[in-house]
Amino acid sequence: MNPDLNELYPYPFERLRTLLDGAQAPSSLSPIALSVGEPQHPAPDCVKNALADALSGLSRYPATKGDLALRQTIADWLCQRFNLSAIDPNAHVLPVNGTREALFAVAQALVARDSGQLVMMPNPCYQIYEGAALLAGAKPSYLPCTAANDYQPDFAAIDDDSWRACQMLYICTPGNPAGAVMSLETLQDLIRKARDFDFIIVSDECYSEIYPDETLPPPGLLQAAAAMGINDYDRCLAFHSLSKRSNLPGLRSGFVAGDAQLLADFLKYRTYHGCAMPPHHQAASIAAWSDETHVIENRRRYREKFTAVLTALDDTLAVSAPEAGFYLWPRTPIDDAEFARRLYLAQGVTVLPGQFLGRDEGAGNPAQGHVRLALVAEHADCVEAARRIAEFTRTL
């Protein structure tokens, strides 16, 4: 057995199941889950129709690199969305089966197993980054994200020795769980660091299409590079997904784009890995990336939910609207795990304790004292959950 498997932490939802083991919600209340970031809005009709029309593709093996039609569609979307002019669908784009598997696999392909090498990541974060680092034989380096720094890593506090030891930096913008958006200037500073100290930036941008102001979309890593004149996207990899943008978590479709040499190496790995996207999923993905109407409607629905939920929570929890994404990250008046268990017992609402998403590296767990609320259910369920949370919080 690979001994690095013993280094993996239990997944947050496994810990949540353990926390709620034996707990019974009131039988008079229907359960509402705000714990998992699984979009419940309807899948776009254009995607479902494209998927059904392409089932003849089941009779052929797909190419690991994906069809040119999909790569070209993705390249066109990137150019439109991030104001890019130099995206070669044959060199700069690689379709993947959802960003989760690709965010994990990229470390296995591109991190060298050298003693003392670091993979940096935000703390709290999507736990896939940590598992990817551990199973690539690297040491995770956790960058605290606290309210004092607007829930973003304090990159200025990292010393040069740590940057020199860094092989890969995971960032998430907009962030999970707090929804913080990195500025173009911050991204450009990181690109300069990557070029000075020779590490790879892996930018998880799967929440980039859920934002409140239609005139202010969050910037992306490739956009930052292009604005600096770095049109080969040196050391930059951006990951995007249809799960959140298009309410298609079951399609398992996304892409990675950026540095052509890194993608060539990643493609070589993936050819052996055996993870080509099925042809009918590719056809459905082309339909999704080609249509913005459903994405605009999706943002409208999230805006309405945030307004209603924050109104219902008013004066009960310390919480504010995120810059982007579909999570709320409120502070809790008691221990967050205790809050989550007692809330479920009293109101049948499931939330994720923040401490399950973070790590204590000696200065405390920066996610402690928060819970994550995923506003992915239908509007009425989210508002009812917020009403119950407020009612419970008033009893504390």
Q: What is the CATH number of the domain that holds 346?
A: 3.90.1150.10
d(CA 257, CA 263): 8
Listed residue (211, 230, 212, 214) closest to 222, CA to CA: 230
- As beta bridge partners, residue 237 has 202, 258
Do 156 and 246 lie in a common domain? yes
265 and 302 together in one domain: no
Residue with tokens 């300069």: 192
- Are 152 and 285 contained in the same domain? yes
Q: Which domain holds residue 157?
A: 45-292
In this prediction, residues 135-154 reach a mean pLDDT of 95
- Supply the mean pLDDT for the chain: 96
Is residue 189 domain-shared with residue 267, that is, in the same domain? Answer: yes
Q: In the listed set 258, 292, 326, which residue is the last one of a domain according to the structure?
A: 292
**10 and 111 co-located in one domain:** no
Polymer length of the chain = 396
What are the pLDDT digits (tens) for 76-97? 999 999 999 989 999 999 999 9
What CATH number should be reported for the domain holding residue 167?
3.40.640.10
Please choose, from the candidates 135, 145, 140, the residue with its C-alpha nearest in 3D space to the C-alpha of residue 165.
140
Q: Where are the alpha helices (DSSP H) in the chain?
A: 12-20, 45-53, 68-82, 99-110, 127-135, 160-165, 184-197, 221-227, 242-245, 260-273, 279-289, 293-312, 336-347, 379-394
Residue 349: the pLDDT is 98
- Compute CA 5 distance to the chain's CA centroid, rounded to the nearest angstrom: 23
57 or 149, which is more confident? 149
HSE of 203 in the Cβ direction (CA atoms, 13 Å)?
31
Q: Is residue 104 pLDDT above 90, yes or no? A: yes
Cβ atoms < 10 Å from Cβ of 84: 21
Closest CA to 66 of 89, 99, 88, 100: 89
Q: What is the distance between the alpha carbons of residues 288 and 282, in angstroms, rounded to a whole number?
A: 10
Residues 171-189, mean pLDDT to the nearest whole number: 98
Q: Is the pLDDT of residue 214 over 80?
A: yes
d(CA 265, CA 259): 10
> Does residue 332 sit in the same domain as residue 375?
yes
Q: Please indicate, yes or no, whether residues 23 and 98 belong to a single structural domain of this protein.
A: no
| Model pLDDT, residue 253 | 96
Strand order in the sheet with 93-96: 93-96, 254-258, 236-241, 200-204, 166-172, 118-123, 139-144
Cβ density class 249-263: b for 16+ within 10 Å, e for less: bebbbbbbbbbbebb
pLDDT at position 57: 83
The model's pLDDT over 294-307, given as tens digits with 9 standing for 90+, comes to: 999 999 999 999 99
% of the chain at pLDDT higher than 90? 92
Query: For residue 59, with 0-12 CB atoms within 10 Å meaning exposed, 13-18 middle and 19 or more buried, which class applies?
Result: exposed
> Between helices 336-347 and 379-394, what is the axis angle to 10°?
110
Number of domains in the chain: 2
Helix axes 279-289, 68-82, angle to 10 degrees: 20
Q: 167 and 138 in contact (C-beta within 8 Å)?
A: yes
139 and 194 fall within a common domain = yes
The angle formed by the CA atoms of residues 25, 28 and 32, to the nearest 5 degrees, is 55
Asked which of 223, 257, 292 is the last residue of a domain, the reply is 292
256 and 174 belong to one structural domain: yes
Residues 6+ apart with CB under 8 A from 341: 19, 20, 23
Same domain, 321 and 234: no
Task: Report how far residue 219's alpha carbon sits from residue 200's, in angstroms, rounded to the nearest whole number.
Answer: 19
Report d(CA 368, CA 371) in Å as an integer: 8
CA distance 34 to 327: 9
Q: What is the pTM of this model?
A: 0.96
Confidence band (pLDDT; 50, 70, 90) for 230? very high
pLDDT band at 1 (very low <50, low <70, confident <90, very high): confident
Q: Are the CB atoms for 66 and 95 separated by under 8 Å? A: yes
Q: Residue 133: CB partners within 8 Å, gap ≥ 6? A: 107, 111, 119, 121, 139, 140, 168
Indicate whether 15 pLDDT > 80: yes
pLDDT 10s digits, 329-364:
999 999 999 999 999 999 999 999 999 999 998 889
- 287 and 304 housed in the same domain: no
Which residues touch 372 (CB under 8 Å, ≥6 apart)? 35, 177, 327, 328, 329, 351, 352, 354, 357
Among 261, 292, 323, residue at a domain's last position: 292
- Same domain, yes or no: 49 and 28: no
